[in-house]
């Protein structure tokens, strides 16, 4: 009978990982900052989503790079939404060709009006207790305790309905 080898002496099985810390960290940062989700990042790296998840588990710096890149993209969108909700001004530059063949530059300052849809979206997500469509109301009894519901017979219900008419 053969003696078992210690765990540290066993050869690793399977194919060597394709993970390249230098190459993949840079590429993953670019993809995450561009707003890509994990499935898209894996596709761009020509790996499966499960491999991407494995690399994230095994390489904390890799996972941090993805999370940081996604946060950067999310923060940009938040700023854009906020700006759009409030309205803003911007400079528009045009190059115009005149009928006589000359070219002139035209610079115009324009105003973008506040956008009600952006405002609603912002408020529903930032202050849902005040702005969500579905309002939850609780009815309580004496001293904030739950109401005691009594079951009424059909005859009692009919009497109540007739009194309210």
Residue 1 CA to chain centroid, in angstroms? 58
Residue 106 has pLDDT above 70, yes or no: yes
Verdict on whether the full-model pTM lies above 0.75 = no
Specify which residues 92 forms β-bridges with.
Answer: 108
Bridge partners, residue 107, by sequence: 93
Mean pLDDT of the chain: 87
Using the predicted structure, report yes or no on whether residue 61 has a pLDDT greater than 90: yes
96-102-105 Cα angle (round to 5): 35
**How far are the Cα atoms of 31, 116, 124 from residue 50, in angstroms, in the given order?**
17, 41, 35
Mean per-residue pLDDT, 1-21? 71
The whole-number pLDDT of residue 107 equals 95
- Please give the average per-residue pLDDT across 38-54, as a whole number: 93
Mean pLDDT of the region 45-64: 92
């Amino acid at each position: 009978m053969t003696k078992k080898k210690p765990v540290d002496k066993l050869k690793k099985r399977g194919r060597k990982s394709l993970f390249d810390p230098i190459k993949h960290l840079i590429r993953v940062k670019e993809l995450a900052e561009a707003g890509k989700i994990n499935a898209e990042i894996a596709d761009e790296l020509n790996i499966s989503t499960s491999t991407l998840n494995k690399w994230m588990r095994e390489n904390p710096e890799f996972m941090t790079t993805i999370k940081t890149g996604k946060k950067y993209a999310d923060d940009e969108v938040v700023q854009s939404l906020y700006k759009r909700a409030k309205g803003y001004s911007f400079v528009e530059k045009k190059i115009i060709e005149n009928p006589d063949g000359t070219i002139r530059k035209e610079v115009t300052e324009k105003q973008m009006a506040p956008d009600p849809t952006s405002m609603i979206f912002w408020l529903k997500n930032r202050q849902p207790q005040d702005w969500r469509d579905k309002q939850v109301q609780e009815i309580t009894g004496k001293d904030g305790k739950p109401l005691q519901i009594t079951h009424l017979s059909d005859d009692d219900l009919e009497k109540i309905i007739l009194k309210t008419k």
